[in-house]
Amino acid sequence: MKKHVSGLALQQHILHALLAAIAFGLMSETAIKGVGHLSKSVGEAILIALLVIYLVEVQSHKRLEESAIQMIKKVGKNIFGLVYGHELPSRFVEALEKTMLEQPVYRESMHLAVELTSTELTNSAGVNEKLCKMHCTFSFTLMNCSDAPAKQPIQVALERDKWLAELYPDNASEPFLEYLRINNDLYVRPEDAEKVKRQLTAVDLKIKPLTDLGTDKSDGNELVFCQPDTIIPAKGSVQVKFGGVMYKRYSDNEVWSTFFPTLAVFLTVTSVDFEVEARFPTSGEVLSTNLGDTTSRWEYDAPLMSGQSVIYWWRPKKR
């Protein structure tokens, strides 16, 4: 907290110091011994007066700063009550602070592109059954709104259906990650690198093996990949895109949930075999467009808070 002194105030301080110095000099016993002694006394008095003024200013400034800090803390604790006229339970406020206000990283937008196709797999009883094969491409931009670099692990997950894993042997229904791109780093299987580069229409990519990513299958419900060392520059951004395949039941749904505050979501679903619907947190902000008989697009132009979800579901088309 800085204190700015105006020119007029500075002149007043100097005048007060001079008056005090002259008074001290005239009152001193050495003043009657000659002009030389008077000058010395005046100089000493000026120094003493300035020191006194400085100490008074420091103490006054300190009290003012402490008072301001206490007021800021008080207002901060009661900001919701002051603004809205009622107070939320402290647990709500603490959760909001941890998930939103204290986090410098947010997602500028999220683009979900999904292609649903009918496929058949042979189950453990030797019977061919129809499943839905989902080819997914997700892309988003992570923004750092703080004045310092932020270390932000990049984590992507593909859902694993444990019921399908038990029904179809040899990992036939196991999801798999095709690639993960973080800025110009492309994590991909070496044999798929050229194909993926053509799909991404990018040439200046640094190829890295998928095995460089950390994996976690501990809960069995999803296949997780993580790049833990990504640094987002101060006031900067990171571009992320990944593609993968998941197997779902013939009539099923998918829930996409965000752990970052997200400004907007764009969902595009293409399918010849299925009819698709979607639901967002609030219907008033959704723009739905049918692009022919096979593609539907939803634009949700409103923020999603951390933990909120988008759900879409499909059913076989009636022939």
pLDDT score for 12: 56
Average per-residue pLDDT in the chain? Answer: 81
Cα–Cα distances (Å) from 308 to 67, 73, 139, 145, 265, in that order, read 39, 30, 18, 21, 12
Asked if pLDDT for residue 202 goes beyond 80, the answer is no
Distance from C-alpha of 270 to C-alpha of 291, rounded to nearest angstrom: 9
Who has greater pLDDT, 301 or 31? 301
Who has greater pLDDT, 49 or 143? 143
pLDDT score for 3: 47
173-202 average pLDDT score: 91
Distance from C-alpha of 140 to C-alpha of 232, rounded to nearest angstrom: 14
pLDDT score for 276: 94
**What does the pLDDT look like over 77-100, one tens digit per residue?**
556 666 667 777 778 777 777 777
**What does the pLDDT look like over 259-305, one tens digit per residue?**
888 999 999 999 999 999 999 988 777 888 888 889 999 999 888 88
**What does the pLDDT look like over 53-78, one tens digit per residue?**
666 666 677 777 777 666 555 555 55
Please tell me the least confidently modeled range out of 4-8, 268-272, 310-314: 4-8
Query: Which tokens go with 313?
Result: 């579901």
Who has greater pLDDT, 225 or 98? 225
Distance from C-alpha of 94 to C-alpha of 82, rounded to nearest angstrom: 17
Confirm if 38 and 25 have CB atoms less than 8 A apart. yes
pLDDT score for 2: 47
Residue 162 pLDDT grade (very low, low, confident, very high; cuts 50, 70, 90): confident
pLDDT score for 217: 58
